[in-house]
């Protein structure tokens, strides 16, 4: 998510054969980098208009070619040729959609928010059976480690071990005191992200919140999300 530029926008009435030209134009307008420096693609969401399938909205995704090449070089060294490269937000959404959404069978009518808490970033992914919206927050599990380092004057590896096994701390209350601000900052940014989604989708309300990622296992994190 942090390496990817994602843009979501409604489409005007357009003939399907004109979509590639329109998306080329939108890519130039929406992404703040020259297109020849980017690997980019798009996904169109269709709506039913009196029995006719018409383009309604689109997701435009772009990443710098340099970043993409670095990832692909890892596979090239192992003589593996990937078929598809996805950004993590889209991959998590596709996993959720494939497991829980059933077209025509009443699955995923209401959007669901997924918080993917990683080491350095947290992805807020919101989607239903047909659409995805996401935002990447530059906070994650390593921020908890840095808070412990400041509180206890310990190294990063020791802070990581205390995060994984908080009962090993001499005073667990000091450990939770160190984390309190980081938990609340991340929870507040998650709330603001969901509010931004609601502002852009006024008729859609998030009804469920799911957690994934290693950082989501930190003890005490869940209670800060109860009001989200």
**Can you spell out the DSSP letters for 3-19?**
T-EEEEEE--S--GGGH
Could you read off the pLDDT of 125-176 as tens digits, one per residue? 998 877 889 999 999 999 999 999 998 899 999 999 988 888 888 888 888 8
pTM of the shown model: 0.82
**What is the Cα–Cα distance from 140 to 129, expressed in whole angstroms?**
28
Q: What is the pLDDT of residue 103?
A: 54
Q: What is the pLDDT of residue 105?
A: 47
Q: Identify the segments of the chain with pLDDT beneath 70.
A: 1, 102-107, 227-228
3-class SS at 59? strand
- Residue 94 has a CB neighbour count (10 Å cut-off) of 13
Q: What is the pLDDT of residue 1?
A: 63
Q: What is the pLDDT of residue 47?
A: 79
Q: Which two tokens stand for residue 72?
A: 């692909």
**What is the Cα–Cα distance from 137 to 100, expressed in whole angstroms?**
25
* Burial profile 133-147: b = 16 or more Cβ within 10 angstroms, e = fewer: bbbbbebbbbbbbeb
Q: What is the pLDDT of residue 65?
A: 92
Instruction: Say which residues have a Cβ less than 8 Å from residue 6's Cβ, sequence separation at least 6.
Output: 59, 60, 61, 87, 89, 134
3-class SS at 154? coil
């Amino acid at each position: 998510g942090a390496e990817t530029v994602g843009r979501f926008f409604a489409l005007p009435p357009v003939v399907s054969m004109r979509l590639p030209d329109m998306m080329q134009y939108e890519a130039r307008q929406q992404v703040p980098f020259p297109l020849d420096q980017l690997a980019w693609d798009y996904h169109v969401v269709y709506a039913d208009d009196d029995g006719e399938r018409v383009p309604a909205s689109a997701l435009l995704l772009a990443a710098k070619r340099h970043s993409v090449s670095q990832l692909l070089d890892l596979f090239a060294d192992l003589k593996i040729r990937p078929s598809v490269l996805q950004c993590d937000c889209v991959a998590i959404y596709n996993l959720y959609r494939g497991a829980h959404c059933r077209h025509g069978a009443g699955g995923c009518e209401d959007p669901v928010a997924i918080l993917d808490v990683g080491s350095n970033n947290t992805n807020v992914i919101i989607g239903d059976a047909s659409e995805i919206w996401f935002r990447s927050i530059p906070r994650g599990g390593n921020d908890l480690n840095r808070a412990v380092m400041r509180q206890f004057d310990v190294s990063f590896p020791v802070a990581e071990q205390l995060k994984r096994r908080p009962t090993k701390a001499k005073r667990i209350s000091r450990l939770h005191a160190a984390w309190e601000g980081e938990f609340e900052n991340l929870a507040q940014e998650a709330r603001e992200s969901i509010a931004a989604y609601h502002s852009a989708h006024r008729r859609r309300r998030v009804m469920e919140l799911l957690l994934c990622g290693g950082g989501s296992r930190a003890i005490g994190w869940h209670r800060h999300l109860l009001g989200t």
